[in-house]
Amino acid sequence: MSTHSVEDIKQQSGRLRGTLVESLSNRITGALADDDQTLIKYHGSYQQDDRDVRDERRRQKLEPDFSFMIRTRTPGGVVTPAQWLKLDAIATTFAERGLRITTRQAFQFHGVIKGELKPTMQAINAALIDTLAACGDVNRNIAVASNPYLSQVHTAVQAQAEALSKHLLPNSRAYYEIWLDEEKVAGSGEEEEPIYGATYLPRKFKIAFAVPPSNDVDVFAQDLGFIAVIGNNGSGDDGALLGYNVSVGGGMGATHGDAETYPRIADVIGFIAPDQVIPVAEAVVTTQRDWGNRAVRKRARLKYTIDDHGLEAFKLEVARRAGITFEPAHAFAFAHNADEFGWHQGDDGRWHLTLRILSGRIWDRASEDGDRVRHLTGLREIARLLDAAGGPSEFRLTANQNMLIANLDDAQRALIDQLVGEYALDTHREASPLRKAALACVALPTCGLAMAEAERYLPAFVDRLEKVMAKNGLDGNDLHLRISGCPNGCSRPYLGEIALVGKAPGRYNLMLGADHRGQRLNTLYRENIDETAILDTLDPLFRQYAAERTDAERFGDFLIRSGLVREHIAPGKALPLELIA
């Protein structure tokens, strides 16, 4: 553990270089020097250790089983078939447990050992993908609605997200020097960082672009959100991107038992034109850079800056820095924050197939019933086919850890269907709505902050929850479940109609009452309970829901309307009603 504060480490790092080169060449340990463990995050990697063997290795007086997680910067999660093939090869050569789709449309590789970090980074870059700023106190991977319908809007919004992602990259050449052997030049270590300054941001920063009616990116969980406004007034601008409603101050992370920290729903502060995205984003980022709390790290996210300084003052400062005036926000309506599986045809006639990927983990492995799951191989075959065909086909990750095979013509659709069937990639066909929408963060064994299982626990918990639902006549009901191994909220659990937030091994806080559109936070209902208690708590609530719900009323909405769960208002308050059309 470093004895230096994160602010000091950043300040003294020579623009994110630290002693990473020396740390990487030290063969005595599988770990990096303490401060370098902080700095490598800005390069898109985390030092981790296998927590399944941590105690045993301690008993044997061995150092922890260190390895690294690497995360890509893939705005909107879009990659070509050729890139997919390269990422697959990297996962197979250097990583354990395949390719992992994250809740921000990035790929993660787990289990890369220190000696193979540099070749892995080089291989990722050879695929024309980088990992720069995928972690750390900077702007992270930008999430974009995966949108299988409005193809032209998707293209426009995706292009804006990519340009913004580039604009907000750190200026330091450290990444290129350390991983790609770029020559050092005069001024290395002192590069100007016009957006970030020498200490970068007080904390991580997250942006998403949403395209209603889908809120698949959970825009209100983001520091900064752009909600596309599409012309539909019959005046000739139908289908065109008119601009964006801007939202600020969303966030999920909290600490158990610490009321100073909390999840927060973002506020909508006004409407801007498409060409104002970059100036507004830069103004939000630099205001957070200058106003954010650098003394108390757990209060450093933008959501606290806004609550401490006041929304109006923050909005005025952003408008001043961006040189714009916010127009009143346009009405918008989100229908859901989950993915819609199967084939969809875009407005340009091309086809998109949304596949469910359980907790985003794509790998070949033995299944519990002894069969072999061959999803990595199946997607490799699909990528080969599409790569050989050329054309605009692409893979698109979703912020719900699923994926699209996108931009296909009629003939390709038939071929893909065949391969999807052959490799049993169509798990969405059989899965219940509950299972299809369920999210779980990585948690054990790699996440150093996990207090309980999440990804590995999800399938078994869903099996049992389905039984309780069936007992109450609710089988087939669409219900959003999210599990996180700790209160940091990487699966955005506070937006789940039902959420389990890890407290200790096998024990969770049960949160209830969010909506299914990502617009209302849930509330703590029972603290620190085990699976039996969770199911016993839900059973009578399901019974009452089945008996008393109004037509099509969702579980979360029912719990709030019936008063069974108290609505979570402050500090993560509900959206102003007039904005919900």
Q: Tell me which of 20, 144, 382, 454 binds ligand SF4, using CB under 6 A.
A: 454
CA separation for the pair 3, 23 (Å, rounded): 17
Out of ligand SRM, ligand SF4, none, which partner does residue 46 contact, by CB within 5 to 8 A per kind? ligand SRM
CB 484 to ligand SF4: min, Å: 4
CB 314 to ligand SRM: min, Å: 17
CB 264 to ligand SRM: min, Å: 8
CA separation for the pair 564, 510 (Å, rounded): 14
Residue 445, preceding peptide bond in cis (omega within 30° of 0): yes
Instruction: Pick the piece of the chain touching ligand SRM (CB under 6 A) from 10-18, 102-110, 185-193, 330-338.
Output: 102-110
Instruction: Pick the piece of the chain touching ligand SRM (CB under 6 A) from 330-338, 372-380, 446-454, 457-465.
Output: 446-454
Using CB under 6 A, which residues numbered 226 to 265 contact ligand SRM? 251-253
Instruction: Pick the piece of the chain touching ligand SF4 (CB under 6 A) from 123-131, 183-191, 294-302, 445-453.
Output: 445-453
In Å, how far are 180, 207, 235, 282 from 167, measured between CA atoms?
21, 13, 34, 9
Burial category of 540 from C-beta neighbours within 10 Å (exposed 0-12, middle 13-18, buried 19 and up): exposed
Nearest to 144 by CA among 239, 217, 244: 217
CB neighbour list of residue 335: distance below 8 Å, 6 or more residues apart: 212, 213, 214, 215, 517
Catalogue the active-site residues. 71, 140, 204, 206, 441, 447, 486, 490
Q: With CB under 6 A, what is the number of residues at the site for ligand SF4?
A: 13
- DSSP strand pairing (351-355 vs 66-71): unpaired
Q: State yes or no: residue 338 binds ligand SF4 (CB under 6 A).
A: no
Instruction: Pick the piece of the chain touching ligand SF4 (CB under 6 A) from 99-107, 168-176, 379-387, 449-457.
Output: 449-457
Which residue's CB comes closest to ligand SF4? 485
Site string for ligand SRM, 198-217 (x = CB under 6 A): ------x-x-----------
Instruction: Pick the piece of the chain touching ligand SRM (CB under 6 A) from 27-35, 101-109, 180-188, 557-565.
Output: 101-109
CB neighbour list of residue 569: distance below 8 Å, 6 or more residues apart: none
Instruction: Pick the piece of the chain touching ligand SRM (CB under 6 A) from 8-16, 317-325, 328-336, 490-498.
Output: 490-498
Q: Residue 238 region, left (φ>0) first, then alpha (ψ -120 to 50), else beta?
A: beta
CA separation for the pair 259, 265 (Å, rounded): 16
CA separation for the pair 88, 358 (Å, rounded): 17
Out of ligand SRM, ligand SF4, none, which partner does residue 486 contact, by CB within 5 to 8 A per kind? ligand SF4
Beta bridge partners of 580: 332
Site string for ligand SF4, 469-488 (x = CB under 6 A): ---------------xxx-x
Judged by CB, which is closer to ligand SF4: 103, or 354? 103
Whether the CB-CB separation of 334 and 215 falls below 8 Å is answered with yes
CA separation for the pair 391, 413 (Å, rounded): 14
Give the 3-state secondary structure of residue 429. helix
Using CB under 6 A, which residues numbered 340 to 399 contact ligand SF4? none
Judged by CB, which is closer to ligand SRM: 346, or 360? 360
Out of ligand SRM, ligand SF4, none, which partner does residue 221 contact, by CB within 5 to 8 A per kind? ligand SRM
Which residue's CB comes closest to ligand SRM? 253
Q: Tell me which of 442, 451, 458, 559 binds ligand SRM, using CB under 6 A.
A: 442
CB 51 to ligand SF4: min, Å: 10
CA separation for the pair 372, 129 (Å, rounded): 30
Using CB under 6 A, which residues numbered 488 to 517 contact ligand SF4? 488-490
Helices within 60-205 (DSSP H only)? 81-94, 117-126, 151-167, 174-180
Q: State yes or no: residue 397 binds ligand SRM (CB under 6 A).
A: no
Q: State yes or no: residue 301 binds ligand SRM (CB under 6 A).
A: yes
CB 488 to ligand SF4: min, Å: 4
Tokens (6 digits) for 207: 């942006």
Judged by CB, which is closer to ligand SRM: 102, or 472? 102
Q: State yes or no: residue 443 binds ligand SF4 (CB under 6 A).
A: yes
DSSP state of 576: P
CA separation for the pair 176, 183 (Å, rounded): 9
Q: State yes or no: residue 447 binds ligand SRM (CB under 6 A).
A: yes
Judged by CB, which is closer to ligand SRM: 403, or 469? 403
Whether the CB-CB separation of 193 and 168 falls below 8 Å is answered with no
Beta bridge partners of 205: 139
Q: How far is Cα of residue 352 from the mean position of the Cα atoms in its chain?
A: 21
Q: State yes or no: residue 569 binds ligand SF4 (CB under 6 A).
A: no
Q: Tell me which of 15, 17, 43, 71 binds ligand SRM, using CB under 6 A.
A: 71
CA separation for the pair 216, 213 (Å, rounded): 9
Q: With CB under 6 A, what is the number of residues at the site for ligand SRM?
A: 31
CA separation for the pair 93, 105 (Å, rounded): 22
Q: How far is Cα of residue 44 from the mean position of the Cα atoms in its chain?
A: 14
**For binding to ligand SRM (CB under 6 A), which residues are involved?**
46, 48, 69, 71, 102-104, 106, 108, 140-141, 204, 206, 221, 251-253, 301, 360, 401, 441-442, 446-449, 488-492
**For binding to ligand SF4 (CB under 6 A), which residues are involved?**
441-443, 447, 449-450, 454, 484-486, 488-490
